[in-house]
Structure 1
Amino acid sequence: MNQPLAYVHPGAKIAKNVVIEPFSTIHNNVEIGEGSWIGSNVTIMEGARIGKNCTIFPGAVISAVPQDLKFGGEESFAIIGDNTTIRECVTINRGTIASGQTVVGSNCLIMAYAHIAHDCVVGDHVIMANGVALAGHVTVGNYAVIGGLAAVHQFISIGDHSMISGGSLVRKDVPPFTKAANEPLSYVGINSIGLRRRGFSTEKIREIQDVYRILYQKNYNNSQAIDIIEAELEATPERDEIITFIKNSSRGVMKGYTSSLSKD
């Protein structure tokens, strides 16, 4: 490290081989793990916990206080896992008394100008493209991909391995393994290409498709569809993950096809 043009508070805990470029500011009560690189003009504020081998590009602000009028100055954290890349001008706010922390997992790519608000939980291997905005209390599952300029309403849940089209307004929960697009945001098939890239077999992908055909293409309501799925389709981890996600949805899940051009 030893960068005289960067400011590092004496109370910060910085691993010996962290690189901090000129004109960055590291506040008190910050921890940065081994091998991480902090670019120029980065601001890392109190409560940041940054893992190993992270890369944070110029202009990013990590662990600023929440943009929430209910925030009362309570101690809280912004936690970033290992091997995550934070691109230029990303903002990640720390948590509130509601959960005490905002979490971004490991091996994520958060592209330029994205915003992750207070009390969000972002899983591992997530890609958020340029300008994505997550409101407070959003949950993003592992391997999810969110296209550029998408805006996600507070308290939304986005399932594992899902993919959301750029420019989307996400007002309803997005179940796992799906693709979401159009306005209002709708199911447009399963994320079959992404699943193949991650090693899902053709048989497993077909099982997931069978679940969503009942949910979205048979004109059942969700309760009817779940009863049929549980009765007719063999129990698998993926089937049960979909069922659990829909049962636990507090905002309701996105609707089915809104365009005859939509395909799996």
Structure 2
Amino acid sequence: MIHPTAIIHPNATIGSNVSIGAFTIIDADVHIGDDCTIDPHVWISGQTTLGKKNFVGFGSHIGGDPQDTSFDKSTRSGVLIGDNNTIREHVTIHRSTSEGGLTTVGDNNMFMINSHLAHDVQVGDSNNLANGVLVAGHIQIGNFCFLGGGAGFHQFIKIGDYAICQGNAAITKDIPPYCMAHGQNKLAGLNVIGLRRAGLNGELRKEIKSAYNLLFKSDLSMTDALTQADQRTWEAPTLLLINAAKNPSRKGIMMA
């Protein structure tokens, strides 16, 4: 199942039942898990590990050098990818800028055509990045997020669980969990469909909406809103939203 024109370094580790297409290059420190399918003209480099049942599409490059002018190419770093991810055509995922560092991807994600993950990004599980999504360095993406086509995300921000972002948005601040973002750092309310898909009942959805209104829709400053929030008892899913407001990235959290 390995095409005769594929170039695979003898030190690479290839699992069982792996398909590798024509003219693909697999470098020395790469580990590919069982049941993966690698299309033609793919390059997997750096200290990159793919788990089981991943698909990598035509022309993709995983483990490439960071786009950082100060990066030392002798740095040994890599990419760690979990299981059952779909990486479509011409996707790029860059390795970490730090010695021994990793850009990480969890399980069951979909990266559509021409999407890009820069160095040191951390992606959770079950996310969908549409065509042309650009994720800059050191961004943290939670679980069950959908990022619309052509959207760009500035380095160091956080994107919370079940967040959704409109296509072609320009995001330079954190997107809170459960929220919808659009334009340039604008919130458009809660991702109600995402909350239902998460299996949260009506009472929990009502509580999350109450917390959202307190933090992002009231006339209070964020400091005062969090003080009020601390005086109430919240269920764990709601605390995910509140804690995101308490612990933003260095770029801060976006507001409605």
Quickly name the TM-score band, shorter chain normalised: over 0.9
Deviations 1:152-188 (A, max 9, x none): 0010111111101111101111111111113x32111
Where does residue 237 of structure 2 map in the other structure? 238
Structure 1 distance, partners of 2:109, 2:122, is: 12
Q: CA deviation at 1:63?
A: 0.3
Structure 2 distance, partners of 1:133, 1:204, is: 33
Structure 2 distance, partners of 1:214, 1:63, is: 42
Where structure 1 has 5 or more consecutive residues not aligned to the other structure, the ranges are 257-264
Residue 99 of structure 1 contacts residue 119 of structure 1 at CA under 8 Å; is this kept in 2? Answer: no
Where does residue 110 of structure 2 map in the other structure? 109
Residue 178 of structure 1 contacts residue 191 of structure 1 at CA under 8 Å; is this kept in 2? Answer: yes
Residue 115 of structure 1 contacts residue 133 of structure 1 at CA under 8 Å; is this kept in 2? Answer: yes
Q: Which moved more, 1:246-255 or 1:96-105?
A: 96-105
Q: CA deviation at 1:144?
A: 1.1
Alignment of 1:113-192 (within 5 A): 113-182=114-183, 184-192=184-192
Structure 2 distance, partners of 1:161, 1:22, is: 38
Structure 2 distance, partners of 1:7, 1:199, is: 46
Residue type matched to 2:245 in 1?
I
Q: CA deviation at 1:243?
A: 2.1
Structure 2 distance, partners of 1:10, 1:170, is: 43
Residue type matched to 2:218 in 1?
K
Structure 2 distance, partners of 1:201, 1:54, is: 33
Residue type matched to 1:243 in 2?
I
Q: CA deviation at 1:68?
A: 0.8
Where does residue 91 of structure 1 map in the other structure? 92
Residue 2 of structure 2 contacts residue 21 of structure 2 at CA under 8 Å; is this kept in 1? Answer: no
Question: Once superposed, which parts of structure 1, at least 4 consecutive aligned residues long, lie more than 2 Å away?
Answer: none
Where does residue 19 of structure 2 map in the other structure? 19
Where structure 2 has 5 or more consecutive residues not aligned to the other structure, the ranges are none
Query: What RMSD in Å do the two structures reach over aligned CA positions?
Result: 1.2
Structure 2 distance, partners of 1:141, 1:175, is: 10
Structure 2 distance, partners of 1:7, 1:15, is: 16
Q: Which moved more, 1:122-131 or 1:242-251?
A: 242-251
Residue type matched to 2:207 in 1?
E
Q: CA deviation at 1:64?
A: 0.4
Q: Secondary structure at the match of 2:144?
A: coil
Q: Secondary structure at the match of 1:231?
A: coil
Structure 2 distance, partners of 1:147, 1:37, is: 26
Alignment of 1:38-117 (within 5 A): 38-72=38-72, 73-97=74-98, 100-117=101-118
Structure 1 distance, partners of 2:240, 2:200, is: 15
Residue 128 of structure 1 contacts residue 145 of structure 1 at CA under 8 Å; is this kept in 2? Answer: yes
Residue 132 of structure 1 contacts residue 151 of structure 1 at CA under 8 Å; is this kept in 2? Answer: yes
Residue type matched to 2:170 in 1?
L
Where does residue 260 of structure 1 map in the other structure? none
Structure 2 distance, partners of 1:137, 1:4, is: 38
Q: Secondary structure at the match of 2:208?
A: helix
Deviations 1:55-98 (A, max 9, x none): 11101000001111221121101111100000000000000117
Residue 98 of structure 1 contacts residue 119 of structure 1 at CA under 8 Å; is this kept in 2? Answer: no
